[in-house]
Amino acid sequence: MSMHRSHILICSGSNCSHRQSRAVRSRLRQAITETGLEREFKVIETGCFGLCQQGPIMVIYPEGVHYCRVQADDIDEIVQTHLQKGRVVTRLLFKSGTEQSVELPKTAFYQKQKRVVLRNVGLIDPENIEESLARDGYQGLAKVLDTLSPEAVIAEVTNSGLQGRGGAGFPAGRKWEFTRKAPGDQKYVVCNADEGEPGTSKDRLILEGDPHTIIEGMAIAGYAVGATKGFIYIRGEYQLSLQRFRQAVAQAKEYGLLGQDILGSGFHFDIEVRSGAGAYVCGEETALLNSLEGKRGEPRYKPPFPANFGLWGKPTLINNVETLANIGPILIHGADWYRSIGSPECPGTKVFTLSGNIANRGLIEVPMGITLREIVEDIGGGIPNGRHFKMAQTGGTSGGCLAVQHLDLPVDIPHLAEVGSSLGSGALLVVDDSHCMVDLARVFLKFFAHESCGQCTPCREGTTLLKRLVDKIASGSGTAADIKAMRRLSTTMQMTSLCGLGQTVPTPVLTMLAYFNDEFMEHLDGGACATGVCRAAVKGVV
């Protein structure tokens, strides 16, 4: 094995790729060959570093210098100045406001983060299983197969307090226990990677950056619940995730970490990779099961729950990507370690995608219970362009809209539920004071009206009616009765919709009406939109 003086890590995740990182990577390899430095410098393509706003990002080790917004034209300078002369190229260093830093981990963006799920993302080459193994890859699985009974694994997951990270927040250990106890010879493990919530890309960046941690989590889950077969359902738009995951499964099989008699334990487990075909509702677990069966992705009535009646009617455990990425570390370090992170009622970390009017957009992982202000101001770097904070929506388009009075709220499942919002998928959309809430409500409801699958009446009709009402308010012809109708319709949808889609459409609507009520009132009876957004937008549509 050849040793290199230095490793150059460069992001090959989707969020950098669209910024021409592919051209940067090939130019870098070319320049290193041209200068005869290939024996000294090794180029490694990794997953996301998190600071997507400043991508493409490159890190040079051992010194740990991070370069941001690197373009192909910058490569010659980096090679000549940094690699050949050992001098830092200052103009490409991280800058945010007044802050400038040579090493990204020392920036405010990283200081308040805690990386459990993303522990290997941006550090390893996701296409090389050896790099995963050299970190902690498959250690949890090895420990489980070697020393723990399925019941003991479930006890550990239950004691860790891990709650589902896909949106609903159901205790993971209990879900595992229900599936374990359900009668049936054939059981399945399904990983839900149909990430469609607007503003969310965490699952994709986990799959692209560390696919082996998901394989490991699924295999441990299979052992615990008594399943020998797993499926992962990846969103059809996520071509890189599909490609990387298929490759990772093939490598794991080659190394005896999937397939027959894993690590000589007598346990068999296989994973089949399936692609979605463009339907938001398939992120709902029973709709996903129907889609896996080759049907229209329409949700099923619950109960029976998938733990008893899942894929082809067999007991099925469905977990989100991020939930499964926590499993390896929990089994390696134990439930007590996991409980030491986060808040007592909501242990662990949460991965968020920051978007909107915020300086540092990107991928972050924070301990549960961190305040909204810490995320927005310290990690996110605040609101750019001299604007002010107006609203933060947690959990994606189906999440609640919080206002300035919520900035000191701890961000975890119970605290967000108290103010009518949810942690959801981990999207965090920050909006400044140049935007109008009525206008945003139109965007949300247009999305839902399009994505409602149409199976149940409350959701099919409710989404369209809500959209009409808010369009009317935006146009200036709304009345107090329309606001009342929005509230009534929302309550009906919450109570009577078949699945989580229809039940959560009212979350943004009701939180907006609660925390931005004045703004809706201003639009009524011919009133004006204070930001001027609505008048322009409505004219454009009508």
Partner 1 sequence: MREWVRQTVEQFGRDRHQLLEILGHLQRGRSYLEKETLLAVAEELDLPAAEVYGTATFYSLYSTVPRGKHIIRVCENAPCHIDGAAAVLAAVQAYLGLQVNETTEDGRFTLETTSCLGICSAAPALMIDDDVHGNLTPESAVGILKNLA
Establish if 447 lies at the interface with partner 1 (CB under 8 A).
yes
3-state secondary structure of 374: helix
Question: Which of 91, 295, 484, 488 touches partner 1 by CB under 8 A?
Answer: 295
Kindly identify the residues of this chain, within the stretch 139-178, that bind partner 1 according to CB under 8 A.
none
Question: Which of 251, 393, 494, 507 touches partner 1 by CB under 8 A?
Answer: 393
Query: Residue 299 CB, nearest distance to partner 1 (Å)?
Result: 12
**C-beta atoms surrounding 464 within 10 Å:** 15
Q: Within 13 A of 290's CA, how many CA atoms are on the CB side? A: 15
Distance from C-alpha of 493 to C-alpha of 141, rounded to nearest angstrom:
43
Of 230, 151, 218, 152, which is closest to residue 186 (Cα–Cα)?
230
3-state secondary structure of 190: strand
**C-beta atoms surrounding 219 within 10 Å:** 29
x/- track of binding to partner 1 for residues 26-55 (CB under 8 A): --------------------------xx-x
Q: For residues 484 and 466, is the Cβ–Cβ distance under 8 A?
A: no
Question: Which of 198, 299, 347, 424 touches partner 1 by CB under 8 A?
Answer: 198
DSSP state letters, 282-330? GGSHHHHHHHHTTS--PPPPSSSPTTTS-GGGS-EEEEEHHHHHHHHHH
Q: For residues 513 and 520, is the Cβ–Cβ distance under 8 A?
A: yes
Establish if 108 lies at the interface with partner 1 (CB under 8 A).
no
Helix axes 480-496, 506-515, angle to 10 degrees: 140
Q: Which stretch binds partner 1 (CB under 8 A): 39-47, 199-207, 299-307, 481-489?
A: 199-207
Establish if 331 lies at the interface with partner 1 (CB under 8 A).
no
Establish if 296 lies at the interface with partner 1 (CB under 8 A).
yes
Counting residues that bind partner 1 (by CB under 8 A) gives: 58
Query: Residue 355 CB, nearest distance to partner 1 (Å)?
Result: 3
Question: Which of 12, 120, 132, 291 touches partner 1 by CB under 8 A?
Answer: 291
Distance from C-alpha of 32 to C-alpha of 25, rounded to nearest angstrom:
11
Question: Which of 108, 154, 431, 459 touches partner 1 by CB under 8 A?
Answer: 431
Distance from C-alpha of 264 to C-alpha of 257, rounded to nearest angstrom:
10
Cα–Cα separations (whole angstroms), residue 473 to 433, 481, 524: 20, 11, 6
Establish if 451 lies at the interface with partner 1 (CB under 8 A).
yes
Establish if 394 lies at the interface with partner 1 (CB under 8 A).
no
Q: Which stretch binds partner 1 (CB under 8 A): 12-20, 157-165, 174-182, 221-229?
A: 12-20
Kindly identify the residues of this chain, within the stretch 215-254, that bind partner 1 according to CB under 8 A.
236-239
Of 12, 70, 74, which is closest to residue 43 (Cα–Cα)?
12
Query: Residue 19 CB, nearest distance to partner 1 (Å)?
Result: 7
Kindly identify the residues of this chain, within the stretch 348-367, that bind partner 1 according to CB under 8 A.
353-357, 361-362
Establish if 62 lies at the interface with partner 1 (CB under 8 A).
no
Residues found near partner 1 in the complex (CB under 8 A): 14-15, 18-19, 52-53, 55, 195-201, 204, 236-239, 274-280, 291-298, 312, 353-357, 361-362, 393, 397, 427, 429, 431, 435, 440, 443-444, 446-447, 450-451, 453, 537, 540
